[in-house]
Amino acid sequence: MSKIADIYRAEILRAVLGPNAHAAKVDNPERLRQIAEHLADSELAQSALQAKGYGRGGRTFLELTREVPSYTPGMLARMFAPRTPAQYPMPAAGRAP
């Protein structure tokens, strides 16, 4: 589990069980770990999207994801589609590629 997930796990424990929370009181530690890791992944995804220019500080993750263009999968499919040899630029004569 990442450090961020550990922090979320501890926050959840304190929020539910109070200030004297202990991990031994958790009924389903695996589910708690999954929730904490999901929150950590969401935070990292939000940071990555903001680094790419989407959203501004103070926006929720949902608001930020709504700014991402919906045509992205099609754009990626065209970008990585197989090309015919005629589509590749030819190097200039006498020069190494």
Cβ–Cβ under 8 Å, residues 8 and 44: no
Q: How does 70-94 read in b/e, with b if 16+ C-beta sit within 10 Å? A: eeeeeeeeeeeeeeeeeeeeeeeee
Cβ–Cβ under 8 Å, residues 54 and 67: yes
* pLDDT value at residue 64: 83
pLDDT at 94 over 60: no
Q: pTM, whole model, 2 decimals?
A: 0.62
**Domain definitions of the chain by residue range:** 3-68
Per residue in 19-74, pLDDT (tens digit) is 888 888 888 989 999 999 999 988 888 888 888 888 777 788 888 888 877 766 67
